[in-house]
Amino acid sequence: MDETVAEYIRRTVLKIPRDEIKPMLQKWGFLSEVQLETVNFHQIKENISQDVVQLCEENSAGIKQAAVLDIIYNNIYPNKRIWSVYQMNKTGEETEFFDLTDFKKKFKRRLRSALKNVTINFREYEDNAIWIRIAWGTPYTKPNQYKTSYVVYHSQTPYVFISASVLRSNLPLLCQALVIASNYHDIHEMELRSHSLNSLKDIVFKRYSQNFKTYYPRPLPERNVAPETVDLRIIQENKNEKERIQRLNWQVFGDGPQPKIEFAQYKLETMFKSDPKMDVLDKKEPFRCLVKFSSPHLLESLKSLAPAGMADAPLSPLLTCIPQKARNYFKIREKKGLLPGSFVSP
């Protein structure tokens, strides 16, 4: 077995949390149950990985099998990478039947014709998701298995989720290959990025709880709130205000959990509006400024801002439109026209 393959498998196993190693190897299916029984999964990971490599040696593992293990790891722990969302367009209306073999063949052919040294692996999952792992090389060097990009393509949708990693120069080639293989016309990057792949899917496939615009002010829906020990001697003077905030919040965010994104970035290219007497800027140039919100779970924290008394309800639509607009990177320019103001550009 190749030295590099052995090392790669060893390092991949080391990444897996100890209790998950056996289940993942079983999912991998490359080592037989009998072989797995010979490994002591209670020793330190260093030793487990050595034992696993030894067994892979017996089975003559190649880079293909190692790559599959890597895909399985990334499929179970996708949140270790940042994912961007891309959307493909096609001109015609015909919904062609999706041929997986054809897709794989065209994809590989397009990539390999441009770059001989690539490792490409596919794995299909139940939710119509095709995972593609690409290890990049250069015309003169073998593919670097540690510099990988991952693509998740749901064949019934025009959306592709890409985790590009370091080699962004290969992105155009990757996008081109995707477009050709899937019989689309072109592809563009949506301004939507996050660590949580599932949340990105939730946002694009509209699987999160959305607000429904109602014209009649609805009373708050019945919730299963655990009865707090309410002391009747404590009187909340601002109960109406609290209820208004709850209602507005519910209208905007809905009931369910929010998709998990970590950033929202707003690039401002607006004129600085100051007191004319202050005369801060001589030149009438747009004032460039970047505002970035970050949080372990941005949308949930936005949802709790108004009830916590830290912001007025309703929140700015610039913040609340993130799931609907399916973007978390915005450019805000001056509104051209009579009224000075700002608007969000596409």
Partner 1 sequence: HITTSLPLPSERDHLRPRIDMIVFMIDIKSKYSLKNVEASLAHVDASFFLGKVCFLVTGVGRVNYCSVEMNAIWKLGEVYCSPVLFCELELEGIRVATAQRLLRMLQICAGHIPGVSALSFGTLMRRSAED
Residues that bind partner 1 (CB under 8 A): 234-238, 240-241, 309-310
Residue 205 backbone dihedrals phi, psi, to 5 degrees = -90, 10
**Is 34 or 310 the residue whose CB approaches partner 1 more closely?**
310
Minimum CB distance to partner 1, residue 335 (Å) = 30
**Is 124 or 243 the residue whose CB approaches partner 1 more closely?**
243
Minimum CB distance to partner 1, residue 243 (Å) = 12
CB 45 within 8 A of CB 13: yes
**Is 42 or 233 the residue whose CB approaches partner 1 more closely?**
233
Alpha-carbon distance values, 270 to 123, 287, 321, 322, 346 (Å): 46, 6, 20, 20, 16
Minimum CB distance to partner 1, residue 309 (Å) = 6
**Is 309 or 341 the residue whose CB approaches partner 1 more closely?**
309
**Is 138 or 238 the residue whose CB approaches partner 1 more closely?**
238
Concatenated DSSP letters for 24-93? Answer: HHHHH-SS-HHHHHTS-TTS-HHHHHHHHHHHHHHTT--HHHHHHHHHHHHHH-GGGS-EEEEEEE-SS-
Minimum CB distance to partner 1, residue 316 (Å) = 17
The two tokens of residue 13 are 């196993």
Minimum CB distance to partner 1, residue 236 (Å) = 6
Residue 147 backbone dihedrals phi, psi, to 5 degrees = -110, 85
**Is 234 or 290 the residue whose CB approaches partner 1 more closely?**
234
**Is 58 or 241 the residue whose CB approaches partner 1 more closely?**
241
DSSP annotation of 198: H
**What's the 3-state SS for 259-322?**
CCCCEEEEEEEEECCCCCCCCCCCCCCEEEEEEEEECCCHHHHHHHHCCCCCCCCCCCHHHHCH
Minimum CB distance to partner 1, residue 242 (Å) = 8
Minimum CB distance to partner 1, residue 232 (Å) = 13
Please name the helix (run of DSSP H) or strand (run of DSSP E) that holds residue 108, with its range, or none. helix 100-114
